[in-house]
Structure 1
Amino acid sequence: MSKHQRIYAVVRQIPPGYVATYGDVAALAGLPGHARLVGYALHALPEFSDVPWQRVINAQGKISLGRAYPGGDLHQRHLLEAEGVEFDANGKIALKRFRWQPSC
């Protein structure tokens, strides 16, 4: 399985209403320290992929899409809010509440 495929397999496991950080996904894919690779892999997804890319956020509990895709951060936020994920007034997600903790 390629590195991207390993990343996608992990992201597919994140249930609706939960998020994981890029670093979480990298570690769970057996690629500790390669959070940027997770970002690159998600960026490479085709438009109508079944991988729930919106559930991956940065380590600060925020969305990181704004610079790469103008308006992409709002789209990601809307997708997450539709799943029940809540944001504070600063656009941050409470990781203690919404971070996915797989039962390995």
Structure 2
Amino acid sequence: MGRMSMEVPVGETGELPEYAERVLDVADGIPPGRVMTYGDVAEWLGEGGPRQVGRVMALYGGTAPWWRVVRADGTLLPGHELRALGHYREEGTPLREAGRAAEGHVPRIDMRRARWDGTHT
């Protein structure tokens, strides 16, 4: 079943590109409280790279749990920190609190504990 995005033109047929479908399917499969990096998703698919996955998430990720596909360093998506943080706290995603000197005091994802390899929950 294809996904539709109201914000982004998806082509004459209304279907997403096949690679985008695959990326979003991986995002949908990440359990609550866990994350995969853009590179992890590309590696899981055996195609593309972090930039291609990031582009798919930017264009089409609004219908997927976009907050579960993250930067490798665990920093929150610029401009979406508060929305993402709400999801992380609701799902119990492991976070590392920012120190007082950190800009904006926004926590990061604890990648050691939150990263999912696609095989266990």
Tell me the TM-score normalized by structure 2: 0.70
Runs of 4+ off more than 4 Å: none
Out of 37, 58, 62, the position equivalent to 2:52 is 37
Counterparts of residues 41-52 of structure 1 (less than 5 Å): 41-45=56-60, 47=62, 49=63, 51-52=64-65
Unaligned runs of 5+ in 2: 1-16, 99-106
AA at the equivalent of 1:77: L
Matched, 1:8 2:16: no
Identity of aligned residues (%): 32
Question: What is the aligned-residue RMSD (CA, Å)?
Answer: 1.9
Which structure has the greater CA radius of gyration? 2
Number of corresponding residues: 96
Aligned to 2:94: 86
Unaligned runs of 5+ in 1: none
